[in-house]
Every structure is written in C-alpha cells, then in structure tokens.
Structure 1
C-alpha cells in the first residue's frame, strides 16, 4: 500500500498505545507476536523503512544499514546498546537512541527478589510442596538472610545505587567497588563503603553485578575471580550474561565454593559477540538446588514496558520532524560520537 507517511517498523510486541501515538503521522508495521523476528525478516521489513523501534534481540550493524538506505533512526526500547553499532549508524546518518532511565527501578527490584529467592531456598521449597513431600514444619532448607549480611555491589552506577537504596531496610552492610567513586555525600546517603574489588569479594555474603558489558568487563567473573569470593557466597546477575564465565560458575557451584547463582541474563543473549554460546549450558541449568533463573524479566513490569516503548516512539517522532531525538547516543554527522 502506497502512502506518503513515513514507515516505522516495530520489531517486537508493544502496547496499543504505542501504535496509537505513531499512527496519525506514520505507517506503522508492528510485530505483535511474542516471537522475535529473524534477522532476515527484520532486514526485509526495514529495507524501505524510515524508522525502526528495536528491542534486545536485534543486532544492527553496517551490513544491516547498507540494506536500509531510507532509515533515519533506530530507536532502542532498552538501555544497554552494545548490540548496536554506534559508529556505523553515525556514518550513515542514522540516529541511535536509547531509553536510559525507566529500566533502573524494576531491575533493582528484581535483583532484591532474586537475592531472597536464592538465599532463602524459595525454589527448592516450592518443589518440595508441589511434589507432595511437605507434611508440616521440619528443620530443613535453612538459608541465609539479607539482614545482617554483607552485600557487595560490583558497580555503583544507576542500577547499583538503586539496589543500595532498596537494601536500606535490610540492615545489611553495603560495600561497593567501582573505578568511578561516589561522592562522600552519596556514600553517606546510600550507606555504601568503597573497597577494592578483592576486599569486596573476600567479605561479601552476596556479590551483585551492576556493571555494563564492555571489553573490560566481559567474563570478569572467571575462575580466578570466583576463587577469591568468600566461600559459600551468593552471586547475583541482573546486568549482562557475558559478565560471567558460565562454565566457571557451574564448576564453582558443583564444588560448593559458590553458595548459589541467580541470573536474569545469559551469555547466549549477547548477540553482538560472535563466539557467544547458543544456549545456557546444561550443567548450569541442571544445578537446580543452587540457582534461580528468570527469562530477562528485569524491566518486565507492564506499565514500565509501555512507557519504554512510548519513549522510543517519541524519539522517532522527534527525528521525523527534523529535531534531535531524545535519548540520542550519537550525532550522525560525527561517526562514533556520543551525545551528552
């Protein structure tokens, strides 16, 4: 169907409100299923598109953009954008935008939930009850409380600070390690004490990953780091899967040196990495007594997901009007640049 309206492709299911805000001025082609589009299908849909609202499963690189000469903006309905080639977008005059703030609070909430579920044996207890083996209280499944524990945050960015605020009521001792120290006022407000990474690992009952995925942090949690973790400590990952060597974590769980691992993210999801695993290792999935896994639910709060996609749609409309879009991480005239 021919139309004078610019075409906007939406790669994953969104709330109807998102389509409604675009429809008056745009031709909207939305994937309203629960399945991600294949790379070939996304490429086909975007060949004549003016804008793309993209999600976590997509990978946008120079080869993709070469096939989309009309594309003016890739509006990412997410915060972390290492699957998207910023320099390639800039060279081709394409804005790249993200939603920097809305994912922080729900991710921090889930982090606390995973800490409790893992340390208090919630899933083994659930299996016991459902399996018919519960006949009343017994002295079993004793776990670890957050109250009175030492929690170490590897990273004190937006999510790290949000986790610290939510731990305020637990009377836990809070440590953090970050190359960029907080101000003394921030440390006082959040009751955070800065220590070296090795000291954090040695003292913490819970180690929480709050880091972005970069060349420096990829597989940061390897066998060497796990050997320095306090025996029996719990590791929590709601950041990025490739921060950890999942085989090393499986070995640490099997030996008992690591008390448990909770994750909402997995290395298989980091599509920009050519050598990423294609699945979660069976040894890790099979460690059911010492793990809690969720399917990337960090921002999976209904109204939050609506607002994230609405913000991405607003960036599209700004771009199509000729304005600088909100959440831009590049300047198309300056390859590889980052906007303030």
Structure 2
C-alpha cells in the first residue's frame, strides 16, 4: 500500500523522523532556513501532510495544495494558520499544547527574578570589574509576597500562578476572556478588569494568544496605568505589545523594568533600543527551549500529522477548526 506523503520543513529528532517514516513517505526539506512562497507552492503540491513551525498557511498557498489534508504546527501558537481558508479547503490544523506549559512557566519565573533582582545587570557589573562596594545602588525589588497580574489565564498562566502562589507567596490577579472559578479557588486568585490589574500589580505578565483582537492589546495608555515600580513581562507573542510604547515607557520611567522573551520582529533588530537598556532582560524566544520539551513537541506534532494523513482524528486540532 502506498504511503501518504508528508512534507517536513523543520529539523526533527531521529526518533521522531523514524516514527513518521513508519507510516508515511517523508519529503524532507528541513535543511533550508527559509522557503520562498514559490518554492513552497512547488513543494506542497503532492503533500498530504505538512509538518512545520511558523510558515504562513493562507489561501494563496492552499490553492497549490490539492492533496493536503493536515498542517501540523510544532508550537502551541497557531496564528500562522488562516483557519478560514483552511476550512474552505478542508484542511485540518493542529498544534502542540500542554507539553510545554511547565517549561515556559519555569522561564517566566526566571525572567521575574532576573528583572526584579537585576541579576543580568549585576553579573555584568562584577565581570567588568565595577563592583567596588555593596550599597543601595545594587538594590532590587522583592518577588515574594508581591502581586502578580496575569493577562491571559490559560494553561501556561495557571502553571505560572501555581509557582508564584506556592513558591513565592505572591498574590495573584488575573484577567481573562472568561472567569475561572477553579483558578480562584486553587490559587486564591482574584479576577480583575485589565485596567484594575494594571493599576494593582507589581509584576504584569502577558500570556495571551495572538489574534486580530489581541494585537497591540498593551499600548501607551496601559503603561501609564502601571505602578512606577512595576515590572512588565512578555513570554507569549511580541505583537501583543506596542513595542514603541514599551520603549517609551521605559525611557520615561513609567515602569521599573521589563523582561522579554518575544518581540514584534524576530530575530530582534540589533538596533532595537531595548537591547541597550540595563533594566530590560532580553531572551531569544526560548520559552519551550529544553531538549526534552522540544522532543515532546516534535513527537506530538508527528503523531498529529500521521493521524491526519491516515484517516484518524488528531488529538490536538486547533479550536477554530474543530467540527
């Protein structure tokens, strides 16, 4: 029996690749960093499945994918999928939720601590020979018993709230599309409007998905509501924040510091002012970047794509494409 063809645009662990090859014919084009739209149209023409991360899937591409049944994202986010066009062409879309929740939550706590206690800045100070005495110039901000405001209380938000509440005795505020009584009970979390949360929080964390509605959901007027001692953290998607407004808020001392794993443009422009600010932690979008978690994400994506091309129902269909 002829195996279905799966186009792979992302380098995979050998074990994951072997799993796919047991069920499918692999069209491996993971060696190229990027593919032009015209190249993708040619590559996808015979594919029944596509395994990738971040490639824009829209109607223009789908017109050239007459055999395509499923697009499997190796990511929890799926803003690269035009779900309206995929519905039109009958293509399933999947992602990799759950497996990265704890890993991202760990990183967010690292960002909080690094920004509050100025660990990167003071590490550089010591290494550059600038440590002459210990005085108020080296002081930071306490994390324990402070108030954490979470904008977007999804699975990752809950994992962060758990660590913050039970590890650091933090007070948890949250805003979300829907209230979550179970979160309020488990973590003694309190629901707030976004404006209330911004005014009351010592740490403001954005963990919302990127959609047309959430694009630039944090703008200049929102930074003006925050405490001057507040630390702003974004580990979800850079486009949720008006980056120019964030830069201005830091320059004008409207907030104390920022800790970022994501940016409006990635990789971040080397001339971005954020990169020269001592009170900004800048990481290269590594929220899920541990060997185990990335392996688990790849295997989940592989199981999704194999299910999709062999007539089964994948476990992780994106919400907008569920029937």
Calculate the TM-score normalised by the size of structure 1: 0.88
Task: Report the CA distance between 1:313 and its aligned residue.
Answer: 1.0
Conserved? CA contact 1:148–1:171, under 8 Å: yes
Q: 2:291 aligns with which of 296, 302, 319?
A: 302
1:8-42 per-residue CA deviation (whole Å, 9 max, x = no partner) reads 12212211111010112322233454834444443
The question of 1:106 aligning with 2:103 is answered yes
Alignment correspondent of 1:338: 321
CA–CA distance in structure 2, aligned partners of residues 285 and 37 of structure 1: 30
Partner Cα separation in structure 1 for residue 69 and residue 202 of structure 2: 48
Residues 229-238 or 6-15, more deviating:
6-15
Instruction: Indicate which of 38, 47, 50 corresponds to 1:49.
Output: 47
Report the CA distance between 1:141 and its aligned residue: 2.2
* 1:182 positional shift: 1.1
Map 1:1-340 → 2, pairs under 5 A: 4-33=2-31, 35-56=33-54, 58-134=55-131, 137=134, 139-167=136-164, 168-183=166-181, 185-269=182-266, 280=269, 282-329=271-318, 338-339=321-322
User: Which SS does the other structure have where 1:18 is aligned?
Assistant: helix
Cα distance in 2 between the residues matched to 1:40 and 1:132: 53
Give ranges in structure 2 of 5+ residues lacking alignment: none
Partners of 2:123 and 2:40 lie apart in 1 by: 40
Change (3 A) 1:181 1:318: same
Larger helix percent: 2
CA 1:202/1:321 → structure 2, altered by over 3 Å: closer, same or farther? same
4+ long deviations beyond 6 Å: none
After superposition, give the CA deviation of every residue in 1:209-246 in whole Å (9 maximum; x if it has no partner): 12111222211111111111111211000111111100
Distance in 2, Cα, partners of 1:327 & 1:298: 20
With 106-115 and 189-198 compared, the bigger mean Cα shift is at 189-198
Mapped contact 2:275–2:282 kept (Cα < 8 A): no
In the alignment, the residues of structure 2 paired with residue 89 and residue 225 of structure 1 have an alpha-carbon distance, to the nearest angstrom, of 35
Alpha carbon RMSD of aligned pairs, Å?
A: 2.2
TM-score by length of 2: 0.92
Q: CA deviation at 1:93?
A: 2.1
**2:167 and 2:76 mapped to 1: Cα distance?**
28
CA distance in 2, matches of 1:111, 1:25: 38
CA distance in 2 between partners of 1:100 and 1:228 (Å): 32
Report the Cα distance in structure 2 between the residues aligned to 1:241 and 1:12, rounded to whole angstroms: 22
Q: Is the 8 A contact 2:121 2:278 kept in 1?
A: yes
Q: Cα offset for 1:143?
A: 0.8
CA distance in 2, matches of 1:104, 1:39: 32
